[in-house]
Structure 1
């Protein structure tokens, strides 16, 4: 974005390792955290942070990680910390506790939650999400299977199935006011609900909603509205029209996808 945005947001970048799990990409690269794995000469977290910074949308950026010392050798990150734009908060035992810890200050909202491996998010993508997120108390960015596969078949392999189609998470969420933090409590028990066992889904959403999700009874927006009613919130979805937006760096396959896309972007100005 060429002009500084009138409204700014608190961005929270989730960079911690999963509890008790050594990330295979980090292990292969010889680094402590996946967010420090390099892609096209930069750590994953630098790509994500630079997209946020260049958007002009950040009032403050919080990095959620177990130990701040893991970022000591990430020069770009340290520079942002020294400038006061970025702070580091110790992550919790689960996603909800980590988000809650990051949103503990008086100026925490509206908050945009994303992940350190969202390396393909450009300032334009961040700007689009933030503008659309203003319609809700809390929201999640999702892209349809058709949007993703129109350009990157196989870019992601897991999809949420609803009556009106299949959609994939883009790892970006809006928590726009303090009461909306309650919606994030689903991550304490149901976390990554494409992988969650049925018992955890029931605990997070209630028996009927868990069955309805598994059976794809509802259209997507109706399902989110119904879940929002459980929390007394206007909960919704931001439709992401960008095929790149669901591709984060999870494994060797998506690392290769992201690398190819970044190489193409870098070559575009030279061929324009």
Structure 2
């Protein structure tokens, strides 16, 4: 089944530190290896066989296409823009299933190391889940990039970092968006994310007596849906560009690829 990709290209209220560092107003327009982030990720999504169309969410869509290196986005027939609001979860909920038909893949404009192969590996493993989350295992990432700093979710059998890829396959996924609305401000604090699913799951996560798959299954059951983790093989899937150090690493990786 063809997927719709939601590309989150907005930012939180106030000045974004990365954008300010590079003299930009919008983080999504920061260039990495000579191309604005939003343009690079949009190209990747459009090149992925499973993605039929891309919807870009941003507070000021016009600003993202008002320059020569991004104007192609306005003329791409498989891509459209819509205005987002401050809340990520509410922005996604407003278009999922409507402007963006199910199933929906959600990713971010700072995911500049994303490749079509990563997209296909992820959507190919979603199966019959209502919600799926992409992650990378710590040994895989730190074995390749030992100095990289990530937020780790620790379970029995390993620690994992999010890979900024989420699958929402139908209306039942809205329950996960409702939950996310209450915890997205704490998205960088792993224990607070787990705590949202109740004290027992938090206790089992803190004592590492539950696996990643078991934790997601239990969390999904509390919401009345099927939730599944997808552990990706490529460590770069967990590296997004939030700070200058990430930017330098991403440029080095992209240069090596080319």
Which TM-score applies when normalising by structure 1? 0.87
Within a 5 Å distance, the mapping from 1:39-118 to structure 2 comes to 39-75=32-68, 77-105=70-98, 108-118=101-111
Contact 2:11 2:86 in 1 (8 A): no
Aligned to 2:9: 15
Gaps of at least 5 residues in structure 1 are 1-6, 267-272
State whether structure 2 residue 172 is matched by structure 1 residue 159: no
Aligned to 1:207: 199
**Please, which of 221, 246, 255 is the counterpart of residue 254 of structure 1?**
246
State whether structure 2 residue 218 is matched by structure 1 residue 233: no
* SS class of match (1:150): helix
Give 1:217 shift: 3.6
**Deviating 4+ runs (over 4 angstroms):** 74-77
State whether structure 2 residue 173 is matched by structure 1 residue 180: yes
Q: 1:261 to 1:214 in 2, by over 3 A?
A: same
* SS class of match (1:97): helix
Provide Cα deviations, 1:17-59, integer angstroms capped at 9, x if missing partner: 112x311110122211111000111001111111111123222
Q: Please tell me the root mean square deviation across aligned C-alpha atoms, in Å.
A: 2.0
Contact 1:143 1:169 in 2 (8 A): yes
Partners of 1:68 and 1:96 lie apart in 2 by 18
Gaps of at least 5 residues in structure 2 are none
Partners of 2:206 and 2:67 lie apart in 1 by 41
Give 1:261 shift: 0.1
Aligned to 2:120: 127
* SS class of match (1:228): helix
Contact 1:190 1:201 in 2 (8 A): no
Q: How many equivalent residue pairs?
A: 257
**Please, which of 189, 198, 203 is the counterpart of residue 195 of structure 1?**
189
* SS class of match (2:253): helix
Q: 1:81 to 1:57 in 2, by over 3 A?
A: farther
Partners of 1:219 and 1:245 lie apart in 2 by 21
Which TM-score applies when normalising by structure 2? 0.92
Aligned to 1:25: 18
Provide Cα deviations, 1:156-201, integer angstroms capped at 9, x if missing partner: 3321111211100000000011111221222211124332785x86
Partners of 1:236 and 1:41 lie apart in 2 by 36
Partners of 2:103 and 2:18 lie apart in 1 by 32
**Please, which of 157, 171, 190 is the counterpart of residue 164 of structure 2?**
171
Partners of 1:30 and 1:36 lie apart in 2 by 10
- Bigger shift: 76-85 or 133-142? 76-85
Partners of 1:88 and 1:228 lie apart in 2 by 31
- Bigger shift: 86-95 or 69-78? 69-78
Give 1:12 shift: 0.4
